[in-house]
Copies of this chain bind each other. A is one copy, B any other.
């Protein structure tokens, strides 16, 4: 099944907003075996919308549009859809009740313009938006599907997850799809591919493998489809049991895990605590660690020791260490980690030192953080 995405909005064409909707949608559709063949960004313009929709339906089975559903006069997606499908706007009472509720809950008066958010073309299936005011819309014609969603990322994601992806999945038949992502680090994509080549070549035909590289990491997404979900899960387990031993020293987690969440899990298992001492990273390490839900169970806190004085006074780094080896050195990182562990009375401490200099390019100044040394200390 092929899909086209149409993202409508002047803010995208002047570069004010980065189009994160397109990548999120493409990634979710891909996981559901629906291939995005083209993504088009256009203005809130009647002719542009109808022309692009017409072209998309000539090439794709599914067209998903975002944007242009707000209450202002700039937003004309509904008018264009009515024209294209030869429909009339009618009030969708549950959506009107939803909008009214949205305003009264916030103690605001609902205006006539806001009430119009409840209007939908009479031939579509409205998708009640419980996290916003503009309903989504599902159209079918000649065996093809057109979906219109609000452009607010949070609302779009909710409507996709709640209605659109399940409905598309239903349309694809009763076939089950399973995914498992193996997260690796410390090995390049091509070396990884060489290492698992024999296993990859022997994968059953209902399996697909995607390499998803990013800085320092490669995610391996294994997908399988078939009629029998139990059998599929069994096949997946078998394939993972063969894959994992081949690369186990490089695997740091699975699926949505991150370095920080994996570290957190290990600390909880051990009933251990962690503190951080940062120089050049300026607090970013602590920030990453506390992005994990429940981090307060093991993370006690940290020190950002930007000046040498603070390294000495708070972390007890010796003046000799700083003068002999420099602030950016393995010796200073180690002394910081030892001092940090002592200060916070934690089981583990991580310390970083490095260069955080201005970096000039194209008359613009940006900052690069380069960690040269780090040290992890454990209570002996």
Residue contact A343 to B314, C-beta cutoff 8 Å = yes
> Known contacts A12-B23, A30-B14; is A283 also within 8 Å of B304 by CB?
yes
> A37 on the interface (CB 8 Å rule)?
yes
Is chain A's interface secondary structure helix, strand, loop, or mixed overall? mixed
Which of A40-48, A76-84, A87-95, A370-378 forms part of the interface with chain B?
A40-48
Which interface class (under 10, 10 to 19, 20 to 34, 35 or more) fits A? 35 or more
- Inter-chain CA distance A296–B22, complex, in Å, is 39
- Inter-chain CA distance A278–B127, complex, in Å, is 42
Residue contact B39 to A40, C-beta cutoff 8 Å = yes
> A301 on the interface (CB 8 Å rule)?
yes
> A307 on the interface (CB 8 Å rule)?
yes
Residue contact A36 to B18, C-beta cutoff 8 Å = no
Contact of A299 among B16, B19, B306 (CB under 8 A): B306
Chain B residue nearest to A311 (CB atoms) is B301
Contact of A290 among B41, B283, B314, B365 (CB under 8 A): B283
- Inter-chain CA distance A157–B361, complex, in Å, is 10
Residue contact A294 to B358, C-beta cutoff 8 Å = yes
Residue contact A17 to B23, C-beta cutoff 8 Å = yes
- In the complex, how many angstroms separate the beta carbon of A79 from the nearest chain B beta carbon? 20
Residue contact B301 to A290, C-beta cutoff 8 Å = no
Residue contact A303 to B306, C-beta cutoff 8 Å = no
Residue contact B293 to A282, C-beta cutoff 8 Å = no
Chain B hits for A292, CB < 8 A: 367
Contact with B along A256-296 (1 / 0, CB 8 A): 10000000000000000000101011111111011111111
Residue contact B282 to A16, C-beta cutoff 8 Å = no
Chain B hits for A1, CB < 8 A: none
- In the complex, how many angstroms separate the beta carbon of A36 from the nearest chain B beta carbon? 5
When A and B form their complex, which 9 residue pairs have the shortest distance between CB atoms, in order from nearest? Answer: A15-B27, A282-B290, A283-B286, A283-B283, A15-B26, A293-B358, A39-B41, A302-B304, A283-B287
- Not counting A13-B38, A300-B307, a sample of 14 additional A-B residue pairs whose C-beta atoms are within 8 angstroms of each other reads A13-B35, A15-B24, A19-B22, A37-B43, A162-B362, A278-B286, A281-B287, A282-B295, A283-B283, A283-B284, A283-B290, A293-B365, A300-B310, A303-B304
